[in-house]
């Protein structure tokens, strides 16, 4: 019985650590009418959070209309979890010159999220 309890405890610890790694969040700042970084690369299952640091409202809107935030005031945050590989272009619908891309790539050797600003 002790062996079974120990095995279950180890399994639970591993599962909890895996879920924490998968739950990691990559952050894109909105400041001075720019997304920073403008391009970010994450692994499938990663969450990207956009945080508005401007005094002006902004939005996050996928060019293919797959996702969209509402208007984000100063300090507001919008999160999206990306489960599929691909390139996801987005724009601030209030300021269309503000653009960015989330690249989702499987990389079994990298820890989630793998971040690369461009």
Kindly report the CATH number assigned to the domain that includes residue 100. 2.60.40.420
DSSP state of 112: S
Containing structural domain, residue 116: 24-118
Q: For residue 8, is it within any domain?
A: no
Q: Give exposure, 45-58, as e/b (b: 16+ Cβ within 10 Å).
A: bbbbebbbebeebb
- Lateral strand order in the sheet of 77-82: 34-36, 25-31, 46-52, 77-82
Q: For residue 5, is it within any domain?
A: no
CA distances from 55 to 12, 51, 72, 76, 113 (A): 44, 12, 10, 11, 29
Q: Using one digit for the tens of pLDDT, what is the confidence trace for 13-45?
A: 444 444 445 557 999 999 999 999 999 999 999
Instruction: Please state, rounded to an integer, the average pLDDT across all residues of the chain.
Output: 82
Number of domains in the chain: 1
């Amino acid at each position: 019985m002790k062996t079974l309890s120990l095995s279950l405890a180890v399994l639970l610890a591993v599962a909890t650590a895996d879920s924490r790694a998968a739950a990691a969040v990559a952050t894109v700042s909105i400041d001075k009418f720019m997304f920073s970084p403008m391009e970010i690369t994450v692994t499938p299952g990663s969450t990207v959070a956009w945080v508005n640091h401007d005094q002006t409202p902004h939005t996050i809107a996928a060019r293919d209309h797959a996702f969209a935030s509402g208007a984000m005031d100063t300090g507001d945050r919008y999160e999206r979890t990306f489960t599929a590989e691909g390139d996801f272009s987005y724009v601030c619908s209030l300021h269309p010159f503000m653009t960015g891309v989330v690249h989702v790539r499987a990389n079994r050797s990298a820890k989630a999220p793998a971040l690369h600003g461009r």
